């Protein structure tokens, strides 16, 4: 049976360190470090995530300021809001919630974002640094959380064959680059990949971020492999990952859903925020 990663305990350990840094920032800044959350329109999953951010911020001494716009706002309204927040010295970091409405595509909103305040690592400048193997920028919170889980569990990354299913800008692609920066050998799979199972079976570390419940079954996993399941799917009201339950019989390590990669995302967002505040202070 696979050993389960404890995402909640690992997130708590990260948040303990974030709390200490937020306290130091409180005395240096004369205010709590502040994360601005930009939300456009109404989306249940996004609203749930915003509540988690608010709750976590409250717990660790980070002020979370929610800025909501209507879904039918002017096309340039989200970008103007982001630009205002960037110019505000009491805002240390910004996260733009997805989905965005069609008139305001993500790239147009991110273009208004100061890379120094890019708490979720999605600005092309930060994505470019990561692509060049320069790790001084901000990386997206979800893949950072996966790396942190591996490292804090004492599992090797260097020289391991990491196979990633999914190539989104938020999870799969930055995860591949973060693993590469840690000297893994990386293979990325997607919907055009042929014979997915033959590739996933080669993985020492198998990371799945496809948004397809049960995509990865036991026969697709090498015995003893480390499996990171990033999937968050609603199946009959039940939160499930992309990995089928029988994978637990084969894998060496496995992230449960819920309680695996999910709690880590929030913790890494908070860590990015204190890092942004510290860097702006110099």
Binding site for ligand NAP (CB under 6 A): 142, 165-168, 170-172, 189-193, 196, 209-212, 215, 230-233, 261-262, 265
- Buried b vs exposed e over 9-21: b needs ≥16 C-beta within 10 Å? ebbeebbeebbeb
Q: Are 175 and 196 in contact (CB under 8 A)?
A: no
The residue among 80 and 212 lying less far from ligand NAP, judged by its C-beta, is: 212
Please, what is the minimum distance in Å from the beta carbon of residue 31 to ligand NAP? 29
Q: How far apart are CA 123 and CA 138, in angstroms?
A: 9
Please, what is the minimum distance in Å from the beta carbon of residue 261 to ligand NAP? 4
The residue among 151 and 191 lying less far from ligand NAP, judged by its C-beta, is: 191
Six-digit token pair at 257? Answer: 């859903």
The residue among 114 and 230 lying less far from ligand NAP, judged by its C-beta, is: 230
Please, what is the minimum distance in Å from the beta carbon of residue 109 to ligand NAP? 16
The residue among 189 and 277 lying less far from ligand NAP, judged by its C-beta, is: 189
- Buried b vs exposed e over 184-218: b needs ≥16 C-beta within 10 Å? bebbbbeeeeeebeebbbebbbbbbbbeebbbbee
The residue among 88 and 217 lying less far from ligand NAP, judged by its C-beta, is: 217
The residue among 77 and 239 lying less far from ligand NAP, judged by its C-beta, is: 239
Please, what is the minimum distance in Å from the beta carbon of residue 143 to ligand NAP? 9
β-bridge mates for residue 208, sequence order: 165, 229
Please, what is the minimum distance in Å from the beta carbon of residue 193 to ligand NAP? 6
The residue among 71 and 259 lying less far from ligand NAP, judged by its C-beta, is: 259
Cis peptide before 258 (omega within 30 of 0): yes
SS3 content of the chain, % helix, strand, coil (to 5): 45, 15, 40
Q: Are 212 and 244 in contact (CB under 8 A)?
A: no
User: By Cβ distance, which residue is nearest to ligand NAP?
Assistant: 168
Please, what is the minimum distance in Å from the beta carbon of residue 171 to ligand NAP? 4
Q: Are 161 and 187 in contact (CB under 8 A)?
A: yes
Please, what is the minimum distance in Å from the beta carbon of residue 49 to ligand NAP? 8
How does DSSP classify residue 257?
S
Interhelix angle 7-29/44-60, rounded to 10 degrees, is 60
Q: How far apart are CA 204 and CA 223, in angstroms?
A: 9
The residue among 170 and 184 lying less far from ligand NAP, judged by its C-beta, is: 170
Please, what is the minimum distance in Å from the beta carbon of residue 279 to ligand NAP? 24
Six-digit token pair at 272? Answer: 């990015």
């Amino acid at each position: 049976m696979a050993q389960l990663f404890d995402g909640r305990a690992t997130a708590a350990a990260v948040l303990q360190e974030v709390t200490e840094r937020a306290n130091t920032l409180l005395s240096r800044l004369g205010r709590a470090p502040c994360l601005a959350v930009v939300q456009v329109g109404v989306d249940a999953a996004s609203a749930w995530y915003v509540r988690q951010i608010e709750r976590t911020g409250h717990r660790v001494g980070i002020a979370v300021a929610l800025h909501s716009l209507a879904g039918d706002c002017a096309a340039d309204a989200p970008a103007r809001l982001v630009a205002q927040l960037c110019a505000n010295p009491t805002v240390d970091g910004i996260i733009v919630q997805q989905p965005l409405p069609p008139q305001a595509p993500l790239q147009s909103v991110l273009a208004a974002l100061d890379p120094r305040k890019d708490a979720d690592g999605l600005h092309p400048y930060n994505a470019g640094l990561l692509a060049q193997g320069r790790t001084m920028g901000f990386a997206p919170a979800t893949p950072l959380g996966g790396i942190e889980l591996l490292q804090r569990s004492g599992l090797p990354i260097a020289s391991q064959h990491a196979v990633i299913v999914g190539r989104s800008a938020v999870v799969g692609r930055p995860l591949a680059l973060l693993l590469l920066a840690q000297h893994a050998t990386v293979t990325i799979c997607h919907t055009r990949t042929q014979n997915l199972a033959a590739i996933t079976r080669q993985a020492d570390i198998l990371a799945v971020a496809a948004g397809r419940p049960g995509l990865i079954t036991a026969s697709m996993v090498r015995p003893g492999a480390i499996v990171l399941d990033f999937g968050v799917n609603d199946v009959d009201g039940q939160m499930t990952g992309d990995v089928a339950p029988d994978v637990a019989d084969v894998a060496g390590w496995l992230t449960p859903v819920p309680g695996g990669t999910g709690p880590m995302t929030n913790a890494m967002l908070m860590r990015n925020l204190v890092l942004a505040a510290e860097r702006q202070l110099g």
